[in-house]
Amino acid sequence: MTLEPRSVQAHIEDARLIVRISSQMPSAPHAQIADLFGIPASDIRVIVGDVGGGFGMKTGAYPEDLMVAFCAHQLKRPVKWQAERSEDFLACTHGRDVVSHVSMALDAKGKIMALRVNSEANVGAYPGMTGVAIQLLIGPWVQTGVYDIGLIDYHFTAVMTNTAPTGAYRGAGRPEAIFNIERLMDEASRVSGIDRLQLRRSNMIQPSQMPYKNAMAQTYDTGNFESIMNQALELSQWNGFEARAQASEKKGLWRGLGIATFLEWTGGNALEEKVNVRILADGVIEVFTAVNAMGQGIATSLSQLVVDVFGVDISKVRVVMGDTDRGAGFGSVGSRSLFTGGSAVSVGSQKALDKARELAAKSLEAAASDLDYAAGHFTVKGTDVGVSLGELAAKEEHSRIELDSSTAASGATWPNGCHICEVEVDPESGTVALCSYTSMNDVGRVVNPMIVVGQLDGGAVQGIGQALCEGVIYDPATGQPLTGSLMDYAIPHADIMPGGFNTHMDQSVPCKNNVLGVKGVGELGTIGATPSVVNAVADALARHGLGGKTRALQMPLTPAKVWEIIHA
């Protein structure tokens, strides 16, 4: 569900096929068009402007995109197509249509001895490789979460049906896996009588175990999960819940308290990114990158990294994205934009500055080590003799200093968090209202706190939407979608969290797999929201004698579903 439906336009210009498309990663349709048409990639240019949301749905070319490009290429005429909202409901990939049966074995002290998961995932009538891999590979990678579980029994099956295909959607497999383990932890607490916080503490991977290889052979480089949980508990005033529950009771409402402690894998296993850095004669520093803007503010964060290196005002920085002629890297998917793209920008900027230093040394007839640099200007130490970046660029061919750079991370990043939610359930109507949402998040180094908080809160809203209201419904006999417009499909509105979010970051555990120490952030809020909200509703029911029914809770928790569980 993106604010902007898909759109594509193609035309011929100077014997080249120019395609303008709403996409997260222009390199993907660029490669697909070249492969399908059998023409050189150099004869194709894909351009992306502002994108009104991607969330994984806009990672590659759809049949309509390829058809528009094909018609323009064959007819030598401009061709355009834009989806209506109902067409996106029909033809775009959807997300998370999974039925899972999960169980685990505990010893007398609450130590998890084994985890079993049997999962069937609907991948639709014409599944793609990504949609299948998400359910059969990527989700299982994080199924054990932040817990030290050595023995697993996993059975994951992809099932073809008569619905639209499922594919990448914010979190891509990790929300399903974390939902399973975090719901299981709370249900195990109810069955065993072990406090749910203690159950989590006694099974958490400890910092001394890092780097830690989980049972799916995935290696976590860093993490201090218990510290993150402790901070979230304090911020949420966990110990004061009973008084708040009593106040709700006086209003005839059942209050519940939910928690999720979790991590995720980010990077899409595309750990290398390329950049082109140019210093121009007017002193402007241009950076060309394949990572793409789709509402997440990445251009600002990348510009800040350039400023960190060159020490110039941000008005002197120009980050250019969305053009396969200028940025030839991978693109934006899997929360990789900053830790791969940002690392490439930082390293590439430093290399360009080093190149400028050598040129300045030659121009000033001094050793490079004898030069001071500040705010776009080199000077010979102890003198006022100097030269600016712009002056150096003006002397070069094409009046610019240019450098291509490629930077690779050494592995994925493992952002993690603890999300705590409080809800009020109206037993008379089944309505669930959110009272508070507190989170402590470890995303490594934070470049722009406002953007990071926006990503965390926006992700949480999408996760809350899945927990409480979002659900595609098909006619089982025909596969005809019955929720084919926003009149029938409920997305979360701004008032779903009336009190706002209490969102915090811990930067004390930087990532060790990239030069910036950052971890992916774009999907973290979505992953933590669904289990914390559903656990809160389950807690509200259990506190009123319905603990035996909490395992029947199935998302979305619409008022009708909750009412039926309470009164059946």
CA-to-CA distance for 410 and 237, rounded, in angstroms? 39
Q: Is the pLDDT of residue 272 over 90?
A: no
| pLDDT tens, residue by residue, 490-540 | 999 888 888 899 999 999 999 999 999 999 999 999 999 999 999 999 999
Domain of residue 294 covers 272-408
Residues 333 and 278 sit within 8 Å (Cβ to Cβ): no
Region of poorest pLDDT, from 153-167, 331-345, 554-568: 331-345
Domain finish residue from 86, 115, 133? 86
Question: What's the token pair of residue 283?
Answer: 């002193």
Q: What's the confidence (pLDDT) of residue 288?
A: 92
Residue 163 in domain: no
209 shares a domain with 225: yes
Residue 98 in domain: no
Residue 33 in domain: yes
Domain finish residue from 347, 373, 408? 408
Residue 112 in domain: no
Close Cβ partners of 196 (under 8 Å, ≥ 6 residues apart): 185, 186, 189, 259
396 shares a domain with 296: yes
Question: What's the token pair of residue 106?
Answer: 């505990």
457 shares a domain with 559: yes
Residues 266 and 141 sit within 8 Å (Cβ to Cβ): no
433 shares a domain with 557: yes
pTM: 0.95
Domain finish residue from 344, 378, 408? 408
Residue 111 in domain: no
530 shares a domain with 425: yes
526 shares a domain with 416: yes
Closest CA to 488 of 500, 477, 496, 480: 480
289 shares a domain with 200: no
Close Cβ partners of 494 (under 8 Å, ≥ 6 residues apart): none
259 shares a domain with 285: no
Residue 396 in domain: yes
CATH number of 232's domain: 3.30.365.10
CA–CA–CA angle 137, 274, 173 (5° rounding)? 20
Q: Is the pLDDT of residue 268 over 80?
A: no
Q: What's the confidence (pLDDT) of residue 377?
A: 96
425 shares a domain with 334: no
Close Cβ partners of 302 (under 8 Å, ≥ 6 residues apart): 287, 289, 291, 319, 338, 341, 342, 345
421 shares a domain with 301: no
262 shares a domain with 309: no
Which helix (H) or strand (E) segment is 391 a member of?
Answer: helix 389-394
Residues 146 and 416 sit within 8 Å (Cβ to Cβ): yes
Residue 122 in domain: no
Close Cβ partners of 77 (under 8 Å, ≥ 6 residues apart): 11, 71
Q: How many domains does the chain have?
A: 3
Residue 360 in domain: yes
Q: Is the pLDDT of residue 240 over 90?
A: yes
| pLDDT tens, residue by residue, 297-319 | 889 999 999 999 999 999 999 99
287 shares a domain with 214: no
